[in-house]
Every structure is written in structure tokens, then in C-alpha cells.
Amino acid sequence: MSLPFTEQAVAEALTVRLREMGIAVLMEAPKVSGTADMEVILPSGHHLFLDYLPNLTSNQLAGAARRLRTSLPAEALAGVVVRRLGPSLLDACKAEKVCAFGLDGNAYVRTPGVYVERLLPAPPVKRMPSAGTCFTAKASRLPRALLALYPEAHTQAVLSEETGLSRGYVSILTSRLAEDRQVSIRSDRLHLEDPDRLLDAWAAHYRMDRHRQFHFATVMNGYEQGIGKLARALEVSGVKFAFTGWTGGYLLTPHTTPTLLTAYVERVPETLAGIHPVERRGNVLLLVPQDTGVFQFTTPSPFGPVVSDAQVYLDLLGMQGRAREQADMLRHERLDFRGRTL
């Protein structure tokens, strides 16, 4: 059966999740086009319509549910399929009376005759070795460029100019990506086949602790005042910088109000006005990157440049607290590749 998902694997994974819950269902493409991505017929005879919104966040759920329900029959049930169903999104689903399935194994289902609530402990983060891949410090310039430029396709010569990598090195990296079916070469241009898969692969290999970290502390009256203070100090020092992590996420797609200021710097200045070094646990984190490619494909902001969307996302995944929620928001708003067209 052909389902209107970009990834057929999503439908297969959902089937497994439902069977694990003891729910025998019939899944099919919706009979009425434009209603949802999938229609699930429950044993009770009720119809559950599901939208695949991989990077949905808790504060976006109400709007997504409203849009889905406006296209459904009156008695139909609404639901979403997401990559990761965390505690805050699960609570939002309860409040909106929306069923939810996470590809991470979590679920919330409340329909006539069925109630399932599953929230598994978060698995320990396992990082794959990056040696020999396209995700080492300098090699990652190419994935960064491919994601930033998508859906445009470029020649290796253009990518060499964009990244500062030699044409020979770009050729080697292209061969590795092609072997992994991440890219194809058509008419001498590199076409990224599945940007989500490339970003996920990069995240699996990424090690934020490979960057040198320097901790500082400052007094700030509000987070934006703190951003401005750090930006002015770095500008006065003449050091090249770009915001990332919590600060990058806040400037691009604010979700929560963080307390940690984070930026990449080409080097740590000897002095920063009003900002003082500490051993650890300060509220300012400066990172000297393994490779200066982090300064490529930045986004301007009122306070200074922000590293590429993909780089902010990767760095958020390596941070504590509600950083994963901020990462999900960023991915939904700025890394939703399905909505990009030439």
C-alpha cells in the first residue's frame, strides 16, 4: 500500500508501535485527499487521522491540531506522528485531546476503548566515531554547506569555493557521501537526497566537547541585555564571533528564556568588559572551534551573526536542561526541509 509519507519507514514504524500496544488496526491512505497523512481504523470502528510532523514542539501543537481538525469529519479523531515525544509535548497532547506517536517509542492514545500512555526513560546518548566520515572537524564543512544551500544543487567547484576546501578534498568527501547514498551526482551537480537523514547522521557523530570551552560570568538585567553586552565586548576586542547553542536558538526561534550566553570565537580575548573568567558554571560559554568552518553560512541578527541553523541545532543537542526542546523548535521552524522548494 502506498502512503503519502515522505518516508515510508515512518508508516512501518508506526505499525510496529501500534502492534506493541496490542492495537490491531487497518492503516490506509485517507480516502479524502488533503485531510491527513494517514488514516487508522481502530477496532471500535473509529477513524484516527494522523499528520506526520517530525519536529513538532509543544507550543505548536494547538495550531497543528486545529488545522488538522478543520479538514476532518465531525466524529473523526486527530493525532500526530513525531520523531521524539517528550514530556512537554505529551502533556500538550493531553490538554488538546490529540493522540500522539513518537518514533522514539513513546505514545499517547485516548480513544473509545483504548488508553495508552507511554513515556520511556531517555536512552543514554551514544556518539559514533567520526574518523573516516564526512563529519570530522574540517570535513563537516561540506555537510554544513549542503544543508544550508538545500534544495539547490551545485558543482564540486562551487562547493569548494563556498567551503574553502580544496577541490580534491571535496571530491573525496563527495565519494563518501555518494557511497552512503546521501548525495547523487546529476549533470555534474551534487544533489542532496535526504537532508533529514544527513542531519541525523551528523548529529550521531557530533561531539561538542571537541571544541575548547571557556567559562565566564557576567551580570545581566534580562537575557537580551546580556546578549548585547557580550556582543559589544567581543566587537570591541576585534575577535570574530558567532552565537550558537542557547543564544543562537533564542535569536532564531525563541522557545524558552535561557540563562546561558553561548558563542563561538576565533580566539579568547585577553579582556572582555564586564565579563570575567570563572572555573566553571558561569553564565557565559565561549567556544574556540576545532575548525573555522563554524563561521560559514551564518545568519545575521540584531546582536551579531548566528552560526548556521544546523550548527545551532547540533550544539543545542549537546546542552543541558530544556535545550532539546529548543532544538526541536529550531528544527521545526528552520530545518523543515520538506517545505523548501527552488
Domain ranges of the chain: 8-118, 141-205, 209-339
CA–CA separation, 264 and 292 (whole Å): 9
Average pLDDT of the residues of the chain: 88
Question: How far apart, in whole angstroms, are the C-alpha atoms of residue 299 and residue 143?
Answer: 17
Cell for 242?
A: 558567532
Structure confidence at residue 289 as a pLDDT band (50, 70, 90): very high
Q: What is the model's pLDDT at position 127? A: 64
CATH for 141-205 is 1.10.10.10
Phi, psi of 19 (to 5 degrees): -65, -35
Maximum distance among all alpha carbons in the chain?
Answer: 70
Tell whether the model's pLDDT for residue 35 goes beyond 80: no
pTM of the model: 0.76
Above 70 in pLDDT, residue 34? Answer: no
pLDDT number for residue 221? 95
Tell the residue number behind the cell numbers 526541509, with chain if given.
Answer: 337
Lowest-confidence region among 87-101, 140-154, 160-174, 303-317: 87-101
CATH architecture, range 8-118: 3-Layer(aba) Sandwich (3.40)
The rounded distance, in Å, linking the Cα atoms of 216 and 284 is 5
How many CA within 13 A on the CB side of residue 230?
34
Question: Per-residue b/e over 172-194, b at no fewer than 16 CB within 10 Å?
Answer: ebbeebeeeebbeeeeeebebee
Is pLDDT larger for residue 81 or for residue 300?
A: 300
Query: What pLDDT, in 10s, does the model give residues 82-141?
Result: 988 888 899 999 999 999 998 888 889 888 878 888 888 766 656 667 677 999 999 999
Q: Are 289 and 211 in contact (CB under 8 A)?
A: yes
Q: Is the pLDDT of residue 41 over 90?
A: no
More confident position, 19 or 223: 223
Three-state DSSP string of 117-159: EECCCCCCCCCCCCCCCCCCCCCCHHHHHHHHHCCCCECHHHH
pLDDT for position 47: 84
Instruction: Please say if the pLDDT value at position 226 is more than 90.
Output: yes
Maximum mean pLDDT: which of 19-33, 163-177, 270-284? 163-177
Q: Looking at residue 21, what is its pLDDT?
A: 67
pLDDT interval class at 31 (50, 70, 90): low
